[in-house]
Chains A and B, each alone.
Chain A
Amino acid sequence: MATAKELSDFLAAVERRAFKQTTYAVRDDHAALDIVQDAMMKLATKYADKPVAEFPMLFQRILQNTMRDYWRRQKVRNLWTTLLSSFGGSAEAGDERDPLETIDVEDDSDQPHAQLERSQTIQLIELAIQKLPARQREAFVLRYWEDMDVAETAKIMGCSDGSVKTHCSRAVHALALTLKKQGLDKLGISSSMAMNKGLKS
C-alpha cells in the first residue's frame, strides 16, 4: 500500500506532463486542469491500496478514460449546440482554419536566436501533436513520452500490440512530415536532430 508521501511524490513527478498531454487532447487549459485533478482524485480514492509501482499505468489509464468521458460530454453538448445554432443560421459555420498555417511566430529579437528557434519548434510540435488523430496521439504519448512498453500501452489503450506499433509509427511519421512541411531547417530542428544522431552513434 502506498503512503501519502509516495502518492504526493508520484503526482508531483507526473502532473506537468499529464497536464500538457491533456491540453494537447482537449485544447483547453481549464478543462485539462479539471481532467488532471479528476484523475488524481480517482487514483487517490480508488487505488490508494495499490503499490506505487502500479501508479504510472493506473494513472495513465484513469487519465485517458477521463479524457474520453470529457469528449463524450462535449459531443453531446456540441450536438445540442449544432441543433440550436442551425435554427439561428450562423454564417461562420464550417470555417475551419489550419492552426499550423496561421501560427503566430514571435519576433522577439531580445532573446537569443537559439532560444527563439526552440520556442518556435515547440509551438510547431505542440500544434502538430494536437492535430494528430486521438488514437495516434494517445499511442505516441504513452509509448514515447510516458516511456511505456508496447504491451503496457496496448493494455491502457485496449488494443493489440500491433495496433500500438501502427499508431506510433503513423504518429511519428505525421509529426516528422508536418515539421518538415513547416521548414525544419529554418527552425534549427534538423541541425539538432543531426547532432543528437551524431551523439548517439
Chain B
Amino acid sequence: MLDTNENHKNKMNAEVDPVFSVENQLSDADVAHYVVDLLDDHAQHLTAVTAKRLLVARNLAVRQMVDSQAVQSGGHTLAWFGDQLERHRTVSAAIILCAILLAFYTAQQFGWNANLEDSDAFLLASDLPPEAYADKGFDTWLVSKSD
C-alpha cells in the first residue's frame, strides 16, 4: 500500500515537472553520454572551410612524420657505429690504435720516398761520379790527396 502511494506520488511529480523526475532517474553517466552523443553528432557537421583546414593540417603532419623518419633512418648508420664503439671499448681502442699506426707508417713511407728522390738528384747533379760515393776508401784517399 505504501509502495503504491509512493509510486502515485512519483507519477504526480512526473506530470507536474517531467524534467525533475527524469533527471532524478538518470545517472551522471546517462547525462554525460547523452551530451556526448549530441556533441559527436555536431562535430561531424563542420563548415567546409574548417574541414579543409583540418585536412591540410593532417597532411602536413603526415608529411612531417615521413620527413622525420627519413632523417632518422639516414642517421641510423652513424648511430650504429657510435653504439658499437660504446659497446666494445677494448676492440674499438685497438682498432683506433692500428689505424693511427697505419697512418704513421704510410706518412713515413711517403717521407722516405721523398728523401730517396732527393739523394738521387744530388748524386746525378754532383761533380763526382756515383761510384765515388760507394767506394769506402775514397774519403781517406781524398783527405791524403789534399794534404
Which A residues are within 8 Å of any B CB, using their own CB?
2, 4, 7-8, 11-12, 15-17, 19-20, 29, 33, 36-37, 40-41, 43-45, 48-49, 118, 121-122, 125-126, 129, 140, 143-145, 168-169, 172-173, 175-176, 180, 183-185, 189-190, 192-194, 196-197, 200
The listed residue (A36, A175, A193) touching B22 by CB distance below 8 A is A193
Which 7 A-B residue pairs are closest in the complex by CB-CB distance?
Answer: A37-B57, A40-B61, A44-B65, A44-B61, A144-B32, A172-B28, A16-B43
Q: Please, how many angstroms separate the alpha-carbon atoms of A15 and B62 in the complex?
A: 13
Q: Is A19 touching B65 in the complex (CB atoms < 8 A)?
A: no
Q: Is A196 touching B34 in the complex (CB atoms < 8 A)?
A: yes
Closest residue of A by beta carbon distance from B53: A33
Q: Is A37 touching B60 in the complex (CB atoms < 8 A)?
A: yes
B42 at interface by CB-CB < 8 Å: yes
Q: Is A200 touching B30 in the complex (CB atoms < 8 A)?
A: yes
Q: Please, how many angstroms separate the alpha-carbon atoms of A196 and B109 in the complex?
A: 92
Residues of A within 8 A of B40 (CB): 17, 145
B125 at interface by CB-CB < 8 Å: no
B19 at interface by CB-CB < 8 Å: yes
Shortest distance from the beta carbon of A140 to any chain B beta carbon, whole Å:
7
Q: Is B64 touching A176 in the complex (CB atoms < 8 A)?
A: no
Shortest distance from the beta carbon of A85 to any chain B beta carbon, whole Å:
31
Residues of A within 8 A of B60 (CB): 37, 40-41
Q: In chain B, residues 54-69, which have Cβ atoms closer than 8 Å to a Cβ of chain A? A: 54, 57-62, 64-66, 68-69
The answer to whether A4 and B25 touch (CB under 8 A), given A16-B46, A193-B34, is no
Residues of A within 8 A of B140 (CB): none
B121 at interface by CB-CB < 8 Å: no
Q: In chain B, residues 31-49, which have Cβ atoms closer than 8 Å to a Cβ of chain A? A: 31-36, 38-44, 46
Q: Is B62 touching A190 in the complex (CB atoms < 8 A)?
A: no
Q: Is B57 touching A36 in the complex (CB atoms < 8 A)?
A: yes
Shortest distance from the beta carbon of B110 to any chain A beta carbon, whole Å:
48
Contacts A/B (CB < 8 Å), 7 sampled: A16-B46, A40-B58, A44-B65, A125-B39, A129-B39, A172-B32, A185-B18
